Amino acid sequence: MATTIASARAPTFFDEVVAATPGTDPHLELCLQCGTCGGSCPSGPDMEHTPRALFAMIDAGMKDQVLSSNTPWYCVACYYCMVRCPQEIHITDIMYTLKRMAIKEGLYRESSASDASGFSETFIDYVENYGRSFELGVATRYHLRHHPLNAVKMATGMGFNMFLKGRMDLTPTRIKNLDQLKAILSKAKELGGSS
């Protein structure tokens, strides 16, 4: 029968990444190593590995190095790489996938962006307990937790200005049907969301 033997072998790290990325096939296998992504990336200069390099590492099965790289955390989701990729690889989506995997494997702590996920987590706390969020409250609380000094800076500097302008709240509004949202979210988690 005209079938490939791929199905036979155990899933590699590469396969895991592809499987954990939503939508249709992210085409990771098509990477030409041309560097358009690394060249386009606004925060590229600050990444430990360019996306291109990361893809080569994924193919090489360097799971730990990939998941402890700061690259996914420095992705600003501007999608330039995705628009320009000559092979139409869903690069940004893959970056999100790598963040999730890094958290799951606890490897993000290795990365120089170790507390990056902290911001996301703080953010989520708000969302899960209020149904809504707002950058500044998140920011302050996140900074209080991770870099208190910044928090002070914020409270006095920029944050203070925002407050004066009436653009800063201390708690977000809570949605009416919070229970419904909670039910949905816990069901989603139970459905093995963490992948």
Partner 1 sequence: MKYGYYPGCSLERNAIAYHQSAMAVAGPMGIEFDELDDWNCCGATEYISIDLLPAYALISRNLALAAQQELEGNGNQLVAPCSACFLNLKKADHYMAESPELSENVNSALAAGNLHYEPGTVSVRHLLDIVVDDVGFNAIAEKVTNPLYNLRIAPYYGCMIVRPGNMKSFDDQEYPTSLDELMSTLGAEVVDFPLKAHCCGGHMTQISESVALELIRRLLKNASDYDADMIVTVCPMCQLNLDAYQDAVNKKFGTNYNIPILYFTQMIGLAFGISPDDLGFGKEIVDAGPALAKIGAEPSPKAKEKRPSKEALPMPSMGEDG
Partner 2 sequence: MNEQFEPVIVGFLCNWCSYRAADLAGTARIKYAPNMRTIRVMCSGRVDPQFVIKALREGADGVMIAGCHPGECHYVEGNIKTLRRFLLLKKMLKQLGVEDERIQLVWASASEGTILADAVDRMTEQVRELGPLNWQNTVLGGGNGQGQPAPIENSPVAEEV
Partner 3 sequence: MNKEKVGVYVCHCGTNIAGVVDVEDVATWAGEQDNVEIARDYKFMCSSLGQDLIEDDIKEKGLTRVVVAACSPHMHEKTFRGACERAGLNPFLFEMANIREHNSWATNDKVAATQKAKALVNAAVERVVFQVPLEKLPIEINPNTLIVGGGISGITAALELADAGNHVYLVEREPSIGGHMAQLDKTFPTLDCSACILTPKMVDAGQHPNITLLSYSEIEEVDGYLGNFTITVRKKARCVIEEDCTGCGICEEKCPIKVVDDVFEAGLGYRKVIYRPFPQAVPKYPVIDKENCTYFLRGKCKACQIFCPTEAIDFEQEDEILKFQVGNIILTTGFDLFDARRIPQYGYGRLANVFTSLEFERMVNAAGPTGGNIFMRDGVTEPQSVAIIHCVGSRDKNYNEYCSKVCCMYSLKFAHLVHERLPGADVYNFYIDMRTPGKGYEEFYHRLLEEGTHFIRGRAAEVTDAARLPGEEGKLIVQAEDTLIGKQRRIPVDMVLLSAGIEARGDSKEISQLFRMGCDFDGFFTERHPKLDPVATMTEGIYIAGACQGPKDIPDSVAQAAAAAARVAGLITQGTVMMEPVRASINEEACSGCRICNTMCPYNAIVFHEDRNVSEVITALCQGCGTCVAACPSGIITGAHFTNDQIVSEIEGILWDVRSEPELVPGD
Q: Using CB under 8 A, list all residues that contact partner 3.
A: 32-41, 44-45, 49-50, 52-53, 80, 84, 86-88
Virtual torsion, Cα 175, 180, 182, 184, nearest 10 deg:
-130
Q: Site for partner 1 (CB under 8 A): which residue of 46, 61, 87, 152?
A: 46
- Residues 3-32 interacting with partner 2 (rule: CB under 8 A): 3
Instruction: Tell me the window of 1-9, 14-22, 40-48, 145-153 that interacts with partner 2 (CB under 8 A).
Output: 1-9
Residues 88, 161: Cα–Cα separation, whole Å? 43
Q: Least distance to partner 3 from the beta carbon of 4, Å?
A: 17
Q: How far is the CB of 9 from partner 2 (least distance, A)?
A: 19
Residues 111 and 103: their CA atoms lie apart, in Å, by 11
Cα(38)–Cα(50) distance, integer angstroms? 5
2 binding partner 2? (CB under 8 A) = yes
Q: Tokens 């330039």 label which residue?
A: 80
The span from the CA of 156 to the CA of 161, in Å, is 8
Q: Which residues bind partner 2 (CB under 8 A)?
A: 1-3
